[in-house]
A and B are shown apart, each in its own frame.
Chain A
Amino acid sequence: QLQLQESGPGLVKPSETLSLTCTVSGASINSGSSYWGWIRQPPGKGLEWIGAIYYTGTPYYNPSLKSRVTISVDTSKNQFSLKLSSVTAADTAVYYCATHGFSGLRPNFDYWGQGTLVTVSS
């Protein structure tokens, strides 16, 4: 059974860089069968796609966040990571990692992590 688990600091200071890692178990990122994505949800609000990465290291970003986002993959650890720079209070959200469901970049997110709340505050 495929499982994803987010990890990283729950509190980040304004203007600093948010860093999260998603550890995948039950499947190999190297298999090339899926794209691996990040999605966030501010408290009480809707979902926002941040971006995704393929095992080759090719990233895809939300055009609205592209200037501040870096997504990378470490196939040796079966992990992929998110960095979001110059954060503000508006970046406070639950951050989820999810699979694109073995269908390219289609939004068929069939496996999700439990989500991790990241608060931006001094």
Chain B
Amino acid sequence: QSALTQPASVSGSPGQSITISCTGTSSDIGSYNYVSWFQQHPGKAPQLMIYDVSNRPSGVSNRFSGSKSGNTASLTISGLQAEDEADYFCASYTSRNSVVFGGGTKLTVL
């Protein structure tokens, strides 16, 4: 199965908003509202930030939001902070009863 497509990098200044896209197919993102987003700092395990397209786990800042349109999901981070600098990965359930991840996006806070 092919990885979901994410931009390799995005950047923004403190206080700004950024959006990371995640493009799949009609066999994954397009067919299910089962998209998650993860934040990963260097040397750490990933942390769940968004699940089921737009839901935030308890403890995750409301500056993080998710959405989906067609075969593309998006993660928006508003009010950028230095601590948001990390790698971000999307993931989706697929029609093959499996999970596929995106290639990851490196967020730089300028």
Contact = CB atoms under 8 A, between A and B. Distances in A.
Contact of B46 (A48, A62, A101, A109): A109
A60 B91 contact: no
Interface string B44-63: 01111001100001000000
Contact of A63 (B3, B46, B98): B98
A54 B67 CA distance: 29
Contact of B93 (A39, A63, A107): A107
Nearest to B45: A112
B89 A47 contact: yes
Taking residues whose C-beta sits less than 8 angstroms from the other chain, chain B's interface range is 20 to 34
Interface in A104-122: 105-110, 112-115
22 contacts: A46-B101, A46-B102, A47-B46, A47-B101, A49-B99, A49-B100, A51-B98, A52-B99, A60-B97, A63-B98, A103-B51, A103-B52, A105-B99, A106-B36, A107-B36, A107-B99, A108-B48, A108-B51, A108-B52, A109-B91, A110-B48, A112-B47
Interface of B: 1, 3, 34-36, 38, 45-48, 51-52, 57, 89, 91-93, 96-104
Q: 7 shortest A-B CB distances, which residue pairs?
A: A107-B91, A112-B45, A49-B99, A108-B51, A47-B101, A46-B104, A106-B34
